[in-house]
Structure 1
Amino acid sequence: MKIFYAIQATGNGHISRAIQLYPYLQQYGEIDFFMSGSNASLAIDLPVKFKSSGCSLFYSACGGLNYWKIAKNIRPLQMIKEAKALPLKEYDVIINDFDSITSLACKMQKVHSVQFGHQASFVSKHTPRPDKKSIMGETILKHYASAPKNIGLHFEKYDSFIVPPIIKEDIKQANPKDLGHITVYLPSFDQACLEKAFNSLPDQHFHWFLSEVNFKHTVGNITYFPVNQANFNESLISCHGIITGGGFETPAEALYLKKKILSIPILNHYEQECNAAALKKMGVPVVYEVGNNFELIIENWLNSVSPMPIIEANNINETLQYLFDTYNELD
């Protein structure tokens, strides 16, 4: 069996999930990966056969999206050309983790696909949304990478086609401990935006993962790390808590490890606002803007008693069997 797997590389979570799935998928046949987007900072140990700049995200300095820069870098004619060129008819199964080019290619070439991943969960009206819905955000989530069948991943089973998060094997096999530090992963924030707040809490040590950092080093109460999967896993497994965005994979792993979480969704990023709504329902503290008193927010969070929601890890063998059974229903 030949499998085409499209990865949206606007963040590390999609790639991390594909890396975890790859050895399981190899049991079914030969896999070629298509990487679309250019935001990921993880090392990619996958057989990537096709690449595209696709649609990438760009951030403002302190926690928001730069919509002008995002729009300026979209090349619709190039994307149509790439969609026509993808040889999808050579593949038996097409798995799409939220890539618009693959979705367009399937429509143009009249081939089937399954949308598989976190964004697929938003096809369901039961998946949590913020109090104020965004028409544009809903349109993107439902139509950006649409497919005839969907298998969604989320914190809880909000609908029949939604399954638990895929947790990395290193996390599943870990023996969590608390060494007292706070792990920080906020890729939409520049270093200058948060450094003062962290320095204002000299008794609290922070492990801060930043894409602009090239080597591990410590200054005062902050140890700076490059974005590296092994180092991040180690820090998360042994942290007291984590400050992160409103993404999916990192909060899911932190919940699985029963770690204290402070979520700061990217400003005006609708999917992250939806994830934040789901986290809030589970009792996880969410902060929507970081101002001059961020250190007070951190102190209050550290001193508060947060619930520890229990989430399941995905049974990958069962989920892949479900995926291939679902795909066969399309024939």
Structure 2
Amino acid sequence: MKIFYAIQATGNGHISRAIQLHPYLQKFGDVDFFLSGNNATLPVDLPVKFKSKGCSLLYSKCGGLDYTAIAKNIKPIQMYKDAKALPLKHYDVIINDFDSITALACKLQKVDSVQFGHQASFISNQTPRPSKKSFLGETIFKHYAPSTKHIGLHFESYDSFIHPPIIKEEIINATPKDMQHITVYLPSFDKDCLEKAFKKLPDVAFHWFLSEITEKYISGNITYFPVNQKYFNESLISCHGIITGGGFETPSEALYLNKKVLSIPILNHYEQLCNAAALEKMGVQVIYEVGNEFELIVEKWLNATSNNPTIKANDIKKTLQYLFDTYPKRK
């Protein structure tokens, strides 16, 4: 069996999921990966056969999206050419983790696909949303990467086709411990946006992962790390809690480990606002703006006594078997 897997590389979560799935997929057939987008920092240790600049999300300085940079990065003519050039008819199964070029290629070449991943869960109206829905956000969920079939991943099973998150083996096999530090991963924030606030909490040790850092170093109560999978796994497994965005993969791993989570969704990022709504329902603290007294919010969060919610990990073998068993048969 020949398998085509499209990765949306606008962030690290999609890549991390694909790396975890790869050995399981290999048991079903030969896998070729398509990397679409250019805003990830993780090394891609996968057999990537096709690449495109695609469409990536780019961030402003302190917690928002840079819409001007995003618009400049979109090359519709090239994206159309890339879609037309993908040889999808040579593949038996096409798995799309929310990539618009692959979806367009499927439409042009009249082949089926399955949208597999977190965004697929938002096809269901039962998946949590913020109190104020976004017409644009809902349109993107439904029409950005349309597929014949959907298999969603989310914190909880809000609908029959939604499964638990893919958790890395290193996390599943770990023995969590509490070394009292706070792990920080906020890729939409530059260093100088939050550094003063963290320095105002000298008794709290922070492990801060930043894309601009190339070598680990310590300054006062902050240990700065490059975005590195090994370092991050070790820090998360041994942390007291984590401050992160409103993404999916990192909160999922933290909740699986029963860690304390403070979520700061990216401003005006509808998917992250939806995730934040789900996290709040589970009892996780969410803040939507970082003001001048951010350190007080962090301190209050640290001192709050609450039961950390836990989630299950995906049974990858079972989920993939379901995917291949129910994949649309070619006519």
**Secondary structure of the residue that 2:326 maps to in structure 1?**
helix
Other-structure match for 1:210 = 210
Other-structure match for 1:36 = 36
Deviation sequence 1:194-214 (CA, Å, 0-9, x none)? 000000000100000000000
Q: Percent identity?
A: 76
CA apart distance, 1:148: 1.0
Q: Quick one: distance in 2 between partners of 1:156 and 1:83?
A: 33
8 A Cα contact 1:284 1:306, kept in partner: no
Deviation sequence 1:281-323 (CA, Å, 0-9, x none)? 0000000000100000000000001322121100000000011
Q: Quick one: distance in 2 between partners of 1:245 and 1:123?
A: 22
Other-structure match for 2:5 = 5
Deviation sequence 1:47-95 (CA, Å, 0-9, x none)? 0010111001111100000111101110011101110000000101000
**Secondary structure of the residue that 1:236 maps to in structure 2?**
helix
Deviation sequence 1:255-293 (CA, Å, 0-9, x none)? 000000000000000000000000000000000000100
Other-structure match for 1:61 = 61
Kindly indicate whether residue 179 of structure 2 is the aligned counterpart of residue 179 of structure 1: yes
Please list, as runs of the form range in 1=range in 2, the aligned pairs for 1:129-144 lying within 5 A after superposition. Answer: 129-144=129-144
Q: Quick one: distance in 1 between partners of 2:184 and 2:92?
A: 41
Other-structure match for 2:281 = 281
CA RMSD of aligned residues (A): 0.8
8 A Cα contact 1:284 1:307, kept in partner: no
**Secondary structure of the residue that 2:327 maps to in structure 1?**
helix
**Secondary structure of the residue that 2:285 maps to in structure 1?**
coil
Other-structure match for 1:314 = 314
Q: Quick one: distance in 1 between partners of 2:291 and 2:53?
A: 33
8 A Cα contact 2:156 2:164, kept in partner: yes
Other-structure match for 2:17 = 17
Other-structure match for 1:244 = 244
**Secondary structure of the residue that 1:327 maps to in structure 2?**
coil
- Structure 1 stretches of 4+ moved >2 Å: 328-331
CA apart distance, 1:185: 0.1
| AA aligned opposite 1:326 | T
Other-structure match for 2:225 = 225
Q: Provide the TM-score with structure 2 as the length reference.
A: 0.99
Other-structure match for 1:258 = 258
CA apart distance, 1:329: 5.0
CA apart distance, 1:330: 6.3
Q: Quick one: distance in 1 between partners of 2:121 and 2:307?
A: 24
**Secondary structure of the residue that 1:167 maps to in structure 2?**
coil
Deviation sequence 1:150-174 (CA, Å, 0-9, x none)? 0000000000000000000000010
Q: Quick one: distance in 2 between partners of 1:329 and 1:304?
A: 53
8 A Cα contact 2:2 2:91, kept in partner: yes
Distance of aligned partners of 1:85 and 1:226 in 2 relative to their CA distance in 1, 3 Å threshold? same
Deviation sequence 1:187-236 (CA, Å, 0-9, x none)? 00000000000000001000000000000000000000000001100000
CA apart distance, 1:129: 0.1
Q: Quick one: distance in 1 between partners of 2:325 and 2:121?
A: 18
Structure 2 gap segments, 5+ residues each: none
Other-structure match for 2:272 = 272
- Number of aligned positions between the proteins: 331
Kindly indicate whether residue 91 of structure 2 is the aligned counterpart of residue 78 of structure 1: no
Q: Quick one: distance in 2 between partners of 1:119 and 1:217?
A: 36
CA apart distance, 1:251: 0.2
Q: Quick one: distance in 1 between partners of 2:330 and 2:293?
A: 53
Other-structure match for 1:298 = 298
8 A Cα contact 2:112 2:328, kept in partner: no
Q: Quick one: distance in 1 between partners of 2:249 and 2:329?
A: 29
Please list, as runs of the form range in 1=range in 2, the aligned pairs for 1:90-109 lying within 5 A after superposition. Answer: 90-109=90-109
8 A Cα contact 2:9 2:37, kept in partner: yes
| AA aligned opposite 2:101 | I
Q: Quick one: distance in 1 between partners of 2:5 and 2:103?
A: 12
Structure 1 gap segments, 5+ residues each: none
Q: Quick one: distance in 2 between partners of 1:306 and 1:245?
A: 20
